[in-house]
């Protein structure tokens, strides 16, 4: 397999990088962590005006009608600067609307999402632990939802949520206006306060079915595979940026008359970061290829990209702190910004056990003999 982004896609990524470096420095991220707004509204509106919120949305709804690979190159650049914007939440809500929404739901929400006038999110988790159909207890009856969702990404700012609910013995998806009656949202404390997570309580709240009844879990799994690849690019961008931060400090900080980068312990630490980040990028590219070609390996590629990129970002963020020494643990230095974001993304879309199980399941299905499993 050989995969590479096209020249146009690379140019889009470079343009996004220049824009984000000019508009979103780490000082902006730090300021957002102390702000009352759940995300950087000005930055998000600028990005929406440039078309980033509607990259894969058809032109009839105001989008650019590009594709998944363009989303990946934008996600990588957002990850590099730790942008405090609801990009992933909006993209995933958009994709579910395009996949399963009615014409009325699409015409109501997609233009608003594209223009930055509305925020959509996914509300899936109800308790800590691995995401699974058995973990969903929110109930739906006669178009009304009752139950709770926890740690909903961008839930403090979202105008609507696509949520999974139990309908008898099956799981279905519903679209709910979060500004309606019967909904209470409270801030959920997270390690990265620049993303406005919320706990949602539904008490006989009105909701619209999204997609066929009972198809909720199938749609969730498909969406999570696509989301894992998108997030892997965001994590890869963050890992690269953390590695660059550590490298630059190691070249300028001196001890015993020499740059600390000359010492073997620092060299090995930086080398480990580079190897992890490079492996993550390779797996993210594998996922992008599978996504672009709709290959049967997509679920396996998504799980591999997710696990590799999560490990790389966490390692690079941790070792960036170690490279900076005692000062790396302080609020005054930016190292903790990478560490916070790496930890938050590691828990988004389901934690490692979900993806490890999914990877093993896919490998057993595709290569039973290699794993010692009877075909």
What's the start-to-end Cα distance of the chain, in Å? 26
- Does 370 score more than 60 pLDDT? no
Say what the pTM is.
0.94
- The CA distance from 277 to 320, in Å, is 13
Give me the phi and psi of 310, to 5 degrees please: -65, -45
Residue 37 backbone phi and psi in degrees, to 5: -70, 140
Distances (CA, A) of 112 to 44, 64, 152, 199: 13, 14, 20, 24
Question: Largest Cα–Cα distance in the chain?
Answer: 74
Model confidence over 128-158: pLDDT tens digits? 888 889 999 999 999 999 999 999 999 999 9
pLDDT of residue 3: 86
Among the listed residues 216, 203, 68, 100, the one whose alpha carbon sits nearest the alpha carbon of residue 148: 203
pLDDT of residue 255: 87
The per-residue pLDDT for 372 is 56
- pLDDT of 245 higher than 80: yes
Gap between the Cα atoms of 328 and 187, Å rounded:
28
Bigger pLDDT: 165 vs 36: 165
Per-residue tokens: 249? 């400090």
Mean pLDDT, to the nearest integer, of 263-287? 96
For residue 66, the model assigns a pLDDT of 94
158-196 pLDDT per residue, tens: 999 999 999 989 999 999 999 999 999 999 999 998 889
70-to-9, 67, 107 alpha-carbon distances in Å: 6, 6, 23
The chain-wide mean pLDDT, for the chain, equals 93
For residue 353, is pLDDT > 90? no
Residue 201 is given by DSSP the state: E
Residue 113: HSE in the Cβ half-sphere, 13 Å Cα cutoff: 35
Check whether 375 has a pLDDT greater than 80. Answer: no
What's the confidence (pLDDT) of residue 130? 80
| Alpha-carbon dihedral sign for residues 58, 64, 68, 72 | negative
Domains in the chain, CATH or no CATH each = 7-86 (1.10.540.10), 121-214 (2.40.110.10), 217-365 (1.20.140.10)
């Amino acid at each position: 397999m050989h995969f590479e982004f096209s020249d146009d896609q690379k140019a889009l990524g470079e343009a996004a990088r220049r824009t984000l470096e000019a508009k979103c420095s780490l000082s902006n991220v730090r300021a957002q962590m102390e702000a009352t707004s759940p995300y950087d509204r000005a930055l998000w509106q600028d990005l929406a005006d440039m078309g980033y919120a509607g990259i894969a949305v058809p032109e009839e709804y105001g989008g650019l009608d590009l594709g998944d690979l363009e989303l990946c190159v934008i996600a990588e650049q957002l990850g590099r600067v730790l942008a405090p914007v609801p990009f992933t939440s909006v993209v995933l809500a958009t994709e579910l609307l395009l996949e399963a929404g009615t014409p009325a739901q699409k015409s109501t929400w997609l233009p608003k999402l594209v223009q930055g006038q509305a925020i959509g999110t996914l509300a899936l988790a109800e308790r800590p632990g691995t995401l699974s159909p058995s973990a969903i207890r929110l109930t739906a009856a006669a178009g009304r939802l009752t139950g709770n969702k926890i740690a909903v990404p961008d839930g403090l700012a979202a105008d609507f949520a696509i949520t999974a609910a139990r309908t008898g013995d099956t799981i279905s998806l519903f679209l709910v206006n979060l500004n309606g009656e019967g909904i209470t949202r409270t801030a959920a404390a997270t390690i990265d306060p620049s993303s406005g997570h919320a706990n949602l309580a539904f008490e006989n709240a009105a909701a619209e079915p999204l997609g066929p009844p009972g198809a909720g879990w199938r749609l969730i799994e498909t969406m999570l595979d696509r989301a894992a690849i998108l997030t892997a690019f965001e994590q890869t961008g963050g890992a690269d940026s953390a590695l660059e931060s550590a490298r630059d400090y190691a070249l300028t900080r001196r001890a015993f008359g020499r740059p600390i980068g000359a010492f073997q312990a620092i060299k090995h630490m930086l080398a480990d970061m580079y190897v992890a980040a490079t492996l993550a990028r390779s797996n993210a590219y594998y996922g992008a290829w599978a996504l672009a070609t709709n290959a049967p390996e997509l679920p396996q590629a998504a799980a591999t990209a997710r696990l590799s990129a999560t490990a790389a970002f966490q390692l690079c963020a941790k070792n960036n702190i170690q490279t900076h020494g005692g000062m790396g643990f302080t609020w005054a230095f930016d190292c903790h910004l990478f560490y916070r974001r790496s930890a938050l993304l590691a828990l988004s879309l389901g934690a490692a056990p979900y993806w490890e199980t999914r990877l093993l399941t896919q490998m057993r299905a595709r290569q039973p003999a290699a794993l010692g499993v009877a075909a």
